[in-house]
Amino acid sequence: DAGVIQSPRHEVTEMGQEVTLRCKPISGHNSLFWYRQTMMRGLELLIYFNNNVPIDDSGMPEDRFSAKMPNASFSTLKIQPSEPRDSAVYFCASGTADGYTQYFGPGTRLTVL
Amino acid sequence: AQSVTQLGSHVSVSEGALVLLRCNYSSSVPPYLFWYVQYPNQGLQLLLKYTSAATLVKGINGFEAEFKKSETSFHLTKPSAHMSDAAEYFCAVSEDFNKFYFGSGTKLNVKP
């Protein structure tokens, strides 16, 4: 299995621009998670999906952030408009409740200038 | 409420020495506990997990961790450090599969 795939690996954009991060979970996993990692706040859960349905988005920092999962093999995290304080590494993870393990992708390093 | 405390944001050991990374947790019910490792510019990789079976859990790369309920601890150890063990290590606790709480991480430096 290829593991969790994220794209792009690096994104540099200017303040005010729209940013879209992409994730392909491991085949057969029915839960998908988006995390953000910063030096100041560590690893934070933003939102998670079960069977493509958003269950808890209480970690999404504000309305500028949105996430979708149109099917079992694809999810996006969008920031519009982006701000410098959004600069972080964004991780996608997937897993199954039976296995009780979350498997992480390599992350997308976002820099907003 | 669940939380994880990792004592020591940086730990430095010599190659061949014992590695001990500390993790204490708080949980209202018997939790599931995890150790993940993160190498530079990579995602988190599962080292090992405790799911209420044996209290001593063996993981990959020679690491192991012991669940001690009385101490609410889940410390990570390795008898002999290798240069390739240099990375950041995260402890996590979960009562609900959809909610993992991660510690702030411990960076392990291995000196030759």
- Residue A85 DSSP symbol: G
The answer to whether residue A103 scores a pLDDT higher than 70 is yes
Give tens-digit pLDDT for A5-50: 999 999 999 999 999 999 999 999 999 999 999 988 889 999 999 9
Does the beta-carbon distance from B97 to A55 stay under 8 Å? no
In terms of Cα–Cα distance, which of B46, B33, B47 is closest to B2? B33
Structure tokens at A35: 């995390």
Spatial separation of the C-alpha atoms in residues B77 and B108, rounded to whole Å: 12
Mean pLDDT of chain B: 92
How would residue B50 be classed by pLDDT, with cut points 50, 70 and 90?
very high
Q: Strand runs (DSSP E) across chain B, as ranges?
A: 3-7, 10-14, 19-26, 32-38, 44-50, 56-58, 64-68, 73-78, 87-96, 99-102, 106-111
The answer to whether residue B89 scores a pLDDT higher than 80 is yes
pLDDT: which is higher, B100 or A26: A26
Return the residue in A32, A53, A104, A109 with the most chain B beta carbons within 10 A, the one to mutate for interface testing: A104
The answer to whether residue B27 scores a pLDDT higher than 90 is no
pLDDT score for B29: 76
What whole-number percentage of chain B has pLDDT above 90? 75
Chain centre to alpha carbon of residue B68: 13
Spatial separation of the C-alpha atoms in residues A34 and A46, rounded to whole Å: 5
What whole-number percentage of chain B has pLDDT above 70? 99
Return the residue in B100, B102, B107 with the most chain A beta carbons within 10 A, the one to mutate for interface testing: B100
Give tens-digit pLDDT for A39-87: 888 899 999 999 999 998 999 988 999 999 999 999 999 999 999 999 9
Chain centre to alpha carbon of residue B99: 17
pLDDT score for A1: 65
Angle made by CA atoms A17, A21, A22, in degrees to the nearest 5: 150
Does the beta-carbon distance from B102 to A42 stay under 8 Å? yes
pLDDT score for B82: 96
The answer to whether A92 touches A4, Cβ cutoff 8 Å, is: yes
